[in-house]
Amino acid sequence: MTSAETSTDTPHIVICTTGGTITASTTSDGAVIAGDSDPATAAMLDQLRSVLPGEIRVSARAVLDADSSTFGPAEWDLLVDAVSDVLADPDVTGVVVTHGTDTLEETAIALDLHHDDPRPVALTGAQRPADHPEADGPANLLDAVLLAADPVSRDLGVLVVLGRAILQARGVRKWHTTDPVAFARNSPDHPVEGLPPELERPTLTGRARFADVRVDVVACPPGSDATALHACVSAGARGLVLEGSGSGNLPPEVAGAVAQLAEERPDLVVVATSRVPRGEATATYGGHGGGAELATRGVLSAGYLRSGQARVLLAALLSTTDGAGADAAADVRRQWDRYHLYS
């Protein structure tokens, strides 16, 4: 993405639409349906223009039109390309992406890993459909556009804007299924030394192609065996994100399978994260399946990322690392601590 400077006298914000609840409608039996939302999108943009300050110009670009629960690596690739294409125009001040909330956290980090442009990119959406009597989408969209037009938002990377909250992409996750304040950010209680942690957001050295790399997430609740893990490996996964307990600890049978894979499949990269909503996944505990023991097998800790964003980051690093096999996996392990949150 370019690093072009743009005028802030007459800000031009491009809204990339992808469907989602913000333009969804409700059927007679109460089901919320996203997709086929051209009329709702047009009405949303008309309403936005009626309340925006006159000096802010907005235009729209349709990228996708679906419920974001259907999005995956191919859609992340499409959105990274779309935002990059929009920012190739030096007259654009910033970008807003309207997006369903189900998978917004994955799209946010996929974009942020590539976003080395000072101009802001704001993701927003809604928890209530467009035809709800208390729809939250219009206010969220207005907030996102105003933020993207404000010079104070430059150099902060990709931002998530919902329910009056403004959050940076890395470490963000959906924390509530229905509350208008849909997202929270998992981060340290105290900033690390040096630059404020929100400014330490290295971007990838190349363009990731998410659809080309299989990375699977495996839930590892207490007492689970390694059946799902082996199935993912057999299906061709190059990386695994294992969702354990506590600070990233795994059940004994899963830990045994990980130890075996470390010997037999040095080309496979394994990351441990936690099912706990807040706090850091770390290589702290000893014993079979503890994070410290896993680290001796080459298992990486996800830090403040949870499984969704850890999967995106691991896929990105695997995609942008030259070659394949054990050497490529070792290179990803060396890079990991540079990119995961607050390493």
Phi, psi (degrees; rounded to nearest 5) at 95: -125, 140
Q: Are 208 and 320 in contact (CB under 8 A)?
A: yes
Phi and psi based region of residue 289 (left: phi greater than 0; alpha: psi -120 to 50; beta: remaining) = left
Please list the active-site residues.
21
Question: CA–CA separation, 149 vs 68, rounded Å?
Answer: 26
Contact partners, residue 26, CB within 8 Å, separation at least 6 = 32, 33, 129, 131, 132
Contact partners, residue 136, CB within 8 Å, separation at least 6 = 126, 127, 128, 162, 163, 180
Retrieve residue 8's tokens.
């802030």
- 137-148 in b/e form (b: 16+ CB < 10 A) is bbbbbbbbbbbb
Question: CA–CA separation, 262 vs 215, rounded Å?
Answer: 17
Question: CA–CA separation, 246 vs 252, rounded Å?
Answer: 14
Count Cα atoms within 13 angstroms, Cβ side, for 128: 14
